Amino acid sequence: MATRQAEALALVARVRRVGWPVEQIDGGVWKVTCPNRKRVQIHQTPSDRNSSAGVLRALNASGFAEAEAEVAAAAEAAKEAKLAAAKARNDAATKRATARATRLSRAAGPYGPSEVTLADLLAKHPAPAVYHRVLITPDMATAMLARNTKNRKPNKADIAEWTKVLRGGRWRYTHQGVAFDVDGRLQDGQHRLSAIVEAGIAAEMLVAVGMPPDNFSVIDTGRRRSAAQVLAMDGAVYASWMATATRHLYLYEVWGSALLDHVYERVGNDLILDAYAKLDGDTFVEACRNGQRLRREIGVAPTGVAAALYLIGQAVGPGNSPSRRSWRWSSRPGTPGFAGQRGISHLAVRAGAQMPKPAVPD
């Protein structure tokens, strides 16, 4: 059950959403100026006399309920417009993909995309066969998912990740695709197909049919390649820590001050590799080294500090990067950067990014 204090704070947020002026006149008192110039006070610790219910009645007498309804209607209209625009973009992307597949098929002959119908793919196949570069539309994906009768439970995070890949134009045709067994049941590819439906965008995939039913026990049993492994293959010195520090920097670049609300968001290996390639290599390596040293000295999380040191170094300019000694001093108990504080990595990144830019001498 919500406390009176929580109800009061929620009411303040609602008033601000409709655009009515709200001014905090005391530590726990807000003054609302209604459109009809009437003033209503919201107390953070209200008594029975000025409870949230009574305050809400006073606000509604000045048209607050109607204002909320208008804001909700406007938000719904904006949502519908956004969905319509997204559908138009997705339809255009599917049309372009279809045209591209047709051109490839004509130009490459037997080496181009396979010309196969949905009925052929879903039919029973007594022997294995493989179709290359099949353009799977959202409608085809829906029909294929209807054959998903013997599979593991879909992972929402995986579907969301593939949906972002599609909408971001990062889809790549690889050897990983869709597989059906001899009876036409879906064996592999449910997350990619679900993402095609969710995004409303067609994608090319390899489709295998007629696979033995007992293949299911050996599909997707390998370990997923980590971002650290990708950076190591690219020559990174401290691949594991650098991958995590790069992820911090990427999330800050995308979300800014809202970084802490997205700390568990998945970031694709390709995005981490792209972000890593844009960094100043020497500065980043030195920041990671200092992060490791600080971990040994005071137990601070090295990756967030490394990202923060990098951001600070970029902000203050060449030759002025902070040393680990100065960061060690600022990380003493009682300061915002104390190593034992929960979320130190992300707080450190945010603190580093908020460093002022150096003044340019006249």
CA dihedral 317, 318, 323, 327 (to 10 degrees): 20
Give the model confidence (pLDDT) of 307-355 as tens digits: 888 888 777 765 555 554 454 434 444 333 333 333 445 555 555 555 5
Domains, the chain, in order of start with CATH, read 4-62 (3.30.920), 110-218 (3.90.1530), 227-353 (no CATH)
| Paired sense of beta strands 129-136 and 203-211, if any | antiparallel
Residue 143: pLDDT band with limits 50, 70, 90: very high
pLDDT at 314: 79
pLDDT at 333: 40
pLDDT at 193: 94
Residue 362: pLDDT band with limits 50, 70, 90: very low
More confident residue, 352 or 124: 124
pLDDT at 33: 92
pLDDT at 156: 86
More confident residue, 42 or 337: 42
Burial readout 47-62 (b: 16 or more C-beta within 10 A, e: otherwise): eeebebeebbebbeeb
Closest-CA residue to 269 (of 212, 317, 224): 224
DSSP track, 204-239: EEEEEEEE-GGGGGGTT-SPPPPHHHHHHHTT-TTH
Q: What is the mean pLDDT of residues 21-41?
A: 88
pLDDT at 352: 52
pLDDT at 157 over 80: yes
Give the model confidence (pLDDT) of 78-92 as tens digits: 888 887 887 787 777
Give the model confidence (pLDDT) of 270-304 as tens digits: 888 888 888 888 888 888 888 888 888 777 778 88
More confident residue, 354 or 128: 128
pLDDT at 350: 53
Asked if 190 and 145 count as a contact pair (C-beta separation under 8 A), the reply is yes
% of the chain with per-residue pLDDT over 90: 14
Q: What is the mean pLDDT of residues 116-130?
A: 88
Give the model confidence (pLDDT) of 170-201 as tens digits: 888 888 889 999 989 898 888 999 999 998 88
Give the model confidence (pLDDT) of 160-171 as tens digits: 888 888 888 888
How open is the CA angle 357-358-362, to the nearest 5 degrees?
130
pLDDT at 321: 53
pLDDT at 138 over 50: yes
Cα–Cα dist 310/280, whole Å: 9
Closest-CA residue to 219 (of 171, 184, 181): 181
Most confident of 7-11, 141-145, 286-290: 141-145
More confident residue, 56 or 264: 56
Cα–Cα dist 195/161, whole Å: 8
Asked if 60 and 68 count as a contact pair (C-beta separation under 8 A), the reply is no
Burial readout 182-201 (b: 16 or more C-beta within 10 A, e: otherwise): eebbbbbbbbbbbbbbbbbb
Give the model confidence (pLDDT) of 224-278 as tens digits: 667 887 788 677 777 888 888 888 888 888 887 677 777 777 788 888 888 888 8
